[in-house]
Homo-oligomer: A and B are copies of this chain.
Amino acid sequence: MNAEEERQAGLAMEGDEDLAGPPTKQELDLNQFLPYRLNSLADRISQALAELYEERYQLNIAQWRVLAWLSHCDELTAKKICAYTNMDKARVSRAIQALEERGLISRTPAPEDQRQQDLHLTAVGRKLLTKLIPEAQAWEAELVATLTAGEYRDLLNVMRKLERQLERIGDKG
């Protein structure tokens, strides 16, 4: 197994000797299986990026997403965030709670419907994002640095196709 095959097999070990053989029989090669490959890749990207929020800003992914959406349309409700991000409402609720406790966002009952609450970034929250967002974007830029413009565009295109196809097949029904 050469280095390239080893990389493809998902092997990322340092001092290893006896992880010898490549697959020999023919049944299902997960490395040829798109759902697995895509998930592995996305997980690793997510996790690497999560360290940026987590270690340096004590934000988990859910919290980061709430903040990012608020940076974007600074007047939202939990429900809208659920819809935009596909996150469970409990997860969103807890993220909001944590962010409010830290003083990064504020919430006020919506005047037209007291069940919902209008969410806003506080000055502190906005300031944090002023630092964090460029870092995240820089990280992303580095990630895609080796892709050509065409490759990047095509990737987004194919992802859109897959999303559309997902909705046709099972995705929740």
Name A's B-contacting residues (CB within 8 A): 7-13, 16, 19, 21-30, 33-46, 48-49, 51, 65, 68-69, 71-74, 79-80, 83-86, 129, 133, 136-137, 139-140, 142-147, 151, 154-167, 169-172
Contacts and interface: CB of A to CB of B under 8 A. Distances in A.
A154 B28 CA distance: 22
A12 B84 CA distance: 8
Nearest to A22: B73
A145 B158 contact: no
B139 A9 contact: no
A25 B161 contact: no
Given A10-B84, A151-B161, 14 more contacts: A9-B84, A12-B167, A23-B72, A25-B71, A33-B68, A33-B137, A34-B155, A39-B45, A40-B85, A43-B86, A143-B169, A146-B164, A147-B162, A151-B158
Contacts of A19: 79-80, 83
Q: Chain A contact residues: over half helix, strand or loop, or mixed?
A: helix
14 contacts: A7-B163, A8-B160, A22-B73, A29-B72, A30-B84, A39-B46, A43-B86, A44-B163, A44-B171, A48-B166, A48-B171, A142-B165, A151-B157, A154-B158
A53 B115 CA distance: 38
Given A71-B27, A170-B48, A170-B51, A165 B143 contact: yes
Contact of A37 (B147, B159, B169): B159
